Amino acid sequence: MTEIIHLDNASIYQKENLVLNRISLTVNEGEFLYLIGKTGSGKSSLLKTLYAELPLKDGIGVVAGYDLVKIRNREIPYLRRKLGIVFQDFQLLSDRSISENLMFVMKATGWKEKQKMIDRTEELLKLIGIPTKGYKMPHQLSGGEQQRVGVARALINHPPIILADEPTGNLDPESSEGILSLLHEISKTGVGVVMATHNYGLIQKFPGRIVRIDAGQLSEETPVFMNEA
């Protein structure tokens, strides 16, 4: 299996504050990994380090072939094109349609041919289950549908991995299950998924590898399912 993320003895800081101390983590293609832990434990800091919003100062960190210690500012946009990032609060542009939201990202990441952009938009809307809603504005969609668009946006450039930071945090239970089901289907195509979450019920319904963050360290956990408790 191909490694997409490799951390070894990596220390992660928020400004000068040490958040995670000498951690190691490997994620492979097609793997679904949950990051769990209390609020403030460092889940978001870890994800931000993986997409180079926070610099990695100590240890080894390689994501999608990029060395996080040596990466230059001008290389960061190219790293992020190889990552799909899904946020808790959707972050859709409210002044343009769903299709225009997706095309905006395509243009920003170097797409030139209009027909290819149209085709990719239609393909993504079909994949996320809202094939006829590209003309709608974000406020006309439910929260779950808006987050599906967030997932589509993350998939535009065929990334080998998706980083999802509490993607169901603002959703009702039914919508949350829909997003998890979608992300699991995507992982079966060979895309790795790393998802930070507080929702242990979803983990039980959609099993994956579990890594807990506690006291600045990572530890693997074995899933416990409802019929085993």
Per-residue model confidence as pLDDT tens digits over 102-132:
999 999 999 999 999 999 999 999 999 999 9
90-119 in b/e form (b: 16+ CB < 10 A) is bebeeeebbbebbbebbeeeeeeeeeebee
pLDDT band at 21 (very low <50, low <70, confident <90, very high): very high
The letter for the amino acid at 84 is G
Does residue 195 come out as left (phi exceeding 0), alpha (psi in the -120 to 50 range) or beta? beta
Provide the strand spans (E) within the chain: 3-14, 17-28, 32-36, 58-63, 66-67, 83-86, 161-165, 192-196, 209-214, 217-221
pLDDT band at 156 (very low <50, low <70, confident <90, very high): very high
**Residue 135 clears pLDDT 80, i.e. is over it:** yes
Per-residue model confidence as pLDDT tens digits over 138-153:
999 999 999 999 999 9
Per-residue model confidence as pLDDT tens digits over 184-208:
999 999 999 999 998 888 898 998 9
Mean pLDDT of the chain: 93
Tokens of 88: 């808790």
Fold of 3-91+143-221: Rossmann fold (3.40.50)
Crossing angle, helix 98-108 and helix 114-127, to 10 degrees? Answer: 130
Q: Average of pLDDT values for 177-189? A: 95
Contacts of 123 (CB under 8 A, 6+ apart): none
pLDDT band at 223 (very low <50, low <70, confident <90, very high): low
In the chain, helix, strand, coil percent, each to 5? 35, 25, 40
pTM of the model: 0.92
Give a three-class secondary structure readout of 152-193: HHHHCCCCCEEEEECCCCCCCHHHHHHHHHHHHHHHCCCCEE
- Please state the domain extents for the chain: 3-91+143-221
Tell me what percent of the residues of the chain surpass a pLDDT of 70.
97
pLDDT for res 224:
56
pLDDT band at 227 (very low <50, low <70, confident <90, very high): very low
